[in-house]
Amino acid sequence: LWIFATSFKTPPDSIAYPPKILFQPSLEGYCNLFSTRTRQTPEYINSLGPATGVCDETVRKRNMVIAGPSNFMPRFINSLIIAFGSTFCAVLLGTLSAYGFSRFKVPLADDLLFFILSTRMMPPIAVAIPIYLMYRELGLS
């Protein structure tokens, strides 16, 4: 709910301290998300015709003009492809390895399963320094 409300705040309102609970809603965040803007002089903005839409009007208040559409949608689609693809691969590989452990006699299966479970329970920050030292020793940092 807080993130949704913040999306309708102006940039100064969204970083205000203390946070503003009551504010004037604005579509400026969405205009910034879906359009590319360029900063212009007030003289140039005044020489333009009247604003043609809500976004045009909103960006002109900040001495900007809309230069074109943003690259948000292609980047968002790329993120979705990577997220769903990596999730699919993780589930597929996990399912196949679980089937292998349950169906076939694997040497040291109990030790391997304990290792897998213990690495899932370990906080990642606990291994950050040892991994960094190992990379530095191998000349990879």
Work out the mean pLDDT of the chain and round it to a whole number. 89
Q: Is the pLDDT of residue 114 over 80?
A: yes
Residues 119 and 88 in one domain: no
Residues 11 and 65 in one domain: yes
Per-residue pLDDT tens for 66-108?
Answer: 888 888 999 999 999 999 999 999 999 999 999 998 998 988 8
Number of domains in the chain: 3
Q: In the structure encoding, which two tokens stand for residue 53, read together?
A: 């839409």
Give me the mean pLDDT over the 50-56 stretch: 84
Reduced to 3 states, what is the DSSP secondary structure of residue 68? Answer: strand
- Distances from the Cα of 13 to the Cαs of 19, 27, 97, 108, 113, in angstroms? 8, 13, 50, 59, 51
Per-residue pLDDT tens for 117-130?
Answer: 888 898 888 889 99
72-103 vs 109-121: helix crossing angle, rounded to 10: 150
Q: Which residue has the higher pLDDT, 84 or 14?
A: 84
* Residue closest to 59 by CA, chosen among 33, 34, 28, 30: 28
- The single-letter code of the amino acid at 57 is E
- Domain holding 87, by residue range, is 72-104
Position 67 scores a pLDDT of 82
- DSSP one-letter string for 83-100: HHHHHHHHHHHHHHHHHH
Residues 14 and 63 in one domain: yes
Position 109 scores a pLDDT of 86
Q: Is the pLDDT of residue 141 over 80?
A: no
Q: What percent of the chain has pLDDT over 90?
A: 30
